Structure 1
């Protein structure tokens, strides 16, 4: 997920803005100020809603020294950026340094 491409960069900036707005909304929900009556009256109506899952890019591997999970096999949160050379990724929660094992093929190129 390199941002050299202008369209990819533009899309990334849009996602950053959405995440900024989401953060503001979540803070408001936590402090009881959101959603307002106006926000709900202007919200899109969703009829017959059902919970479903959406696949997002993530990684699975042996985490070493994870601050919460220690050393164990994990699946990361959603990837938001990846080094074009395959050396690191930034997920929703943190940076990961990629250290391929001798047995696996690199993911480099799959995320670009």
Structure 2
């Protein structure tokens, strides 16, 4: 599934509800929360803070999916095409940072 299809699927899901998309600021708060949950999982698996036996099982993969969903909600609420956004970012990295790092 490409990003455009993902944006359409999320839009179809959100469109079922009277509330619709949350405001951009509310979505940013949700995204911040989800990034924190992702950070916690990464810390559990790759950091010094291991998960307690009483903590709910979760995965980095699941948290990345949650982050992607909220990011798509934010983009959709602002009518931003994430394919174009990604292409602009990659162009910036390929031009601005082309000599920044040692290549293989």
Interval containing the TM-score (normalised by the shorter chain) = 0.3 to 0.5
More helix by proportion, 1 or 2?
Answer: 2
Q: Give the TM-score, by structure 2 length.
A: 0.35
* Structure with the larger RCO, 1 or 2 (CA within 8 Å, 6+ apart): 2
Q: Give the TM-score, by structure 1 length.
A: 0.33
More strand by proportion, 1 or 2?
Answer: 1
